[in-house]
Structure 1
Amino acid sequence: METGRVSTPGAMSINATSFFLLWTCVFFGKCANGNWNSSSYYDIERRDPCLPEHVHISFGKTVLDIVIMWSTLGDCCGQVKYGMHPWGMEQITKSTDIHFDEKNSKGLHHLHKAELKNLQAGSTYYYIPISKGVQSGPFYFKTPMAETDWSHDFLMFGDLGIDSDTVPSLVNEALSGKYTALFHVGDIAYDMKNQDGQVGDYFMSIIEPAAAAIPYLTCPGNHEIDDDTFTHYRHRFATPDTEWPIPLDKMWYSIDIGPVHFVSYSTEVFFTNFAMYVNDQREWLIRDLDKANKNRHNVPWVIVFGHRPLYCSTHIGDDCSQPDSQVRKGFEEMFYRMSVDIVVQGHEHNYERLWPVYQNNVTEYTYNNPSAPVQLISGAAGSAEDVDHFPSEKRPDWSAFRLDNRAMNSYGRMLVINESHVFWEQRSIYNHSTLDSIWIIKDKHLSSRNGMGQKPDEMSEEAKDLLGQTCRKSFLACHPFEILVISGSMLVLIIASLAIRVVVRKKRKENFTKTWSRLSDEVDEDQDVFEDEESLVHS
Structure 2
Amino acid sequence: MRFSTSVVAVLTSALAINGVLAIPQVKNPVPQNILEPVQFRVAFAGAEAGKSAAVSWNTYGELSGAPTLRYGLDPDNLSKSASGESNTYATSTTWNHHVVLEGLEPGTVYYYRVEGADVSKTFHFKTALAPGTNKEFTFAAAIDLGVMGEYGLSTWVGEGAEGPLKPGEKNTIDSLLDDFDEYEFLLHPGDIAYSDYWLKEEIQGYLPNTTLEEGIYVYEALLNTYYQQMEGLTAYKQYMVSPGNHEANCNNGGTSDKKNNITYTADMCFEGQTNFTGLRNHFRMPAEESGGVGPMWYSFDYGLVHFVSINTETDFEDAPSSTGMRSGEFGYPGQQLDWLRADLANVDREKTPWVVVSGHRPWYIDAKKKNVCKDCQNAFEDILVDGNVDLVIMGHVHLYERNHPVAHGKVDPNGLNNPSAPWYIVNGAAGHYDGIDFAAGLDEEWIAYTMDGHYGWSSFTVHNCSHLTHEFVFSENNTRLDRQTLFKDRKCKLPIDGGSSVSISPSTSSIPGVESGSGFNGTVTKTESDKKSSVVGTATVSKPKPADETKTVIKPETSTVTETDCEKCHSETNGSLLESAAETAQTEKEQSKAATVVETVHETAVASTKPIVSISSLSPVATAPIASVGPSSVASASESESAAVFQPSTGSAGSTPALANVATLARISPMVMGVALVAVPAFAMQFV
TM-score higher than 0.5 here?
yes
Deviation at 1:365, TM superposition (A): 5.6
Q: Secondary structure at the match of 1:289?
A: helix
| Partner of residue 335, structure 2 | 280
Q: 1:53 to 1:335 in 2, by over 3 A?
A: same
| Partner of residue 391, structure 2 | 342
Alignment of 1:344-383 (within 5 A): 344-364=393-413, 366-383=415-432
| Partner of residue 70, structure 1 | 57
1:125 and 2:110 aligned:
yes
Q: Secondary structure at the match of 1:387?
A: coil
TM-score if structure 1 supplies the norm length? Answer: 0.69
**Deviation readout 1:138-178 (Å, 9 max, x if unpaired):** 101122343521111101121001134524423424532x3
Q: Secondary structure at the match of 1:317?
A: helix
Q: Secondary structure at the match of 2:220?
A: helix
Q: Secondary structure at the match of 2:230?
A: helix
- What is the one-letter code of the residue matched to 2:378? K
Deviation at 1:265, TM superposition (A): 0.3
CA contact (8 A) 2:172 2:457 kept: no
| Partner of residue 244, structure 2 | 221
| Partner of residue 526, structure 1 | none
| Partner of residue 232, structure 1 | 278
| Partner of residue 389, structure 1 | 438
1:82 and 2:130 aligned:
no
| Partner of residue 136, structure 2 | 151
In 1, Cα distance between the equivalents of 2:436 and 2:395?
A: 12
| Partner of residue 32, structure 2 | 47
CA contact (8 A) 2:287 2:293 kept: no
Note the aligned Cα RMSD (angstroms). 2.6
CA contact (8 A) 1:51 1:134 kept: no
Alignment of 1:407-446 (within 5 A): 408-444=454-490
Higher RCO (CA-CA < 8 Å; seq separation 6+): 2
Q: Secondary structure at the match of 2:433?
A: coil
| Partner of residue 7, structure 1 | none
Q: Secondary structure at the match of 1:56?
A: strand
Deviation at 1:75, TM superposition (A): 1.0
1:166 and 2:153 aligned:
no
Q: Secondary structure at the match of 1:74?
A: coil
1:188 and 2:211 aligned:
no
Structure 1 unpaired stretches of 5+: 1-26, 31-35, 447-539
Which of 310, 314, 327 aligns to 1:265? It is 310
In 1, Cα distance between the equivalents of 2:28 and 2:78?
A: 31
Q: 1:234 to 1:136 in 2, by over 3 A?
A: farther
- What is the one-letter code of the residue matched to 1:101? Y
Which of 206, 217, 225 aligns to 1:202? It is 225
Deviation at 1:189, TM superposition (A): 0.5
Deviation at 1:191, TM superposition (A): 2.2
1:111 and 2:111 aligned:
no
CA contact (8 A) 1:51 1:136 kept: no
Deviation at 1:193, TM superposition (A): 8.7
Q: 1:342 to 1:334 in 2, by over 3 A?
A: same
Structure 2 unpaired stretches of 5+: 1-21, 154-169, 199-217, 250-265, 267-273, 493-688
Q: 1:145 to 1:255 in 2, by over 3 A?
A: closer
- What is the one-letter code of the residue matched to 2:183? Y
In 2, Cα distance between the equivalents of 1:357 and 1:74?
A: 50
CA contact (8 A) 1:103 1:193 kept: no
CA contact (8 A) 1:158 1:381 kept: yes
Deviation at 1:97, TM superposition (A): 1.5
Q: 1:28 to 1:56 in 2, by over 3 A?
A: farther
Larger displacement relative to structure 2 (116-125 or 419-428): 116-125
**Deviation readout 1:40-93 (Å, 9 max, x if unpaired):** 966x5x511210000000011233211010111111132111111111111111
Which of 138, 141, 144 aligns to 2:122? It is 138
Q: Secondary structure at the match of 1:68?
A: strand
TM-score if structure 2 supplies the norm length? Answer: 0.54
In 1, Cα distance between the equivalents of 2:448 and 2:197?
A: 37
Alignment of 1:234-249 (within 5 A): 234-242=280-288
CA contact (8 A) 2:175 2:478 kept: no
Q: Secondary structure at the match of 2:103?
A: coil
| Partner of residue 270, structure 2 | none
- What is the one-letter code of the residue matched to 1:119? L
| Partner of residue 319, structure 1 | 372
In 1, Cα distance between the equivalents of 2:23 and 2:231?
A: 11
| Partner of residue 452, structure 2 | 404
In 2, Cα distance between the equivalents of 1:283 and 1:63?
A: 27
Which of these two proteins has the greater Rg computed from alpha carbons? Answer: 1
In 2, Cα distance between the equivalents of 1:125 and 1:181?
A: 15
| Partner of residue 297, structure 1 | 350
In 2, Cα distance between the equivalents of 1:156 and 1:434?
A: 14
CA contact (8 A) 2:298 2:308 kept: yes
Deviation at 1:279, TM superposition (A): 1.1
CA contact (8 A) 1:129 1:136 kept: no
Larger displacement relative to structure 2 (380-389 or 134-143): 134-143
- What is the one-letter code of the residue matched to 2:368? H
CA contact (8 A) 2:129 2:302 kept: no
Q: Secondary structure at the match of 1:423?
A: strand
Q: Secondary structure at the match of 2:341?
A: helix
- What is the one-letter code of the residue matched to 2:349? R
- What is the one-letter code of the residue matched to 2:377? R
In 2, Cα distance between the equivalents of 1:196 and 1:29?
A: 17
Which of 49, 60, 66 aligns to 2:45? It is 60
Q: Secondary structure at the match of 2:121?
A: coil
**Deviation readout 1:188-239 (Å, 9 max, x if unpaired):** 0102695241111111100001100000001100001125510011011110
Q: 1:361 to 1:157 in 2, by over 3 A?
A: same
Larger displacement relative to structure 2 (140-149 or 48-57): 140-149
In 1, Cα distance between the equivalents of 2:399 and 2:322?
A: 28
Q: Secondary structure at the match of 2:115?
A: strand
Q: Give 1 or 2: higher helix fraction.
A: 1
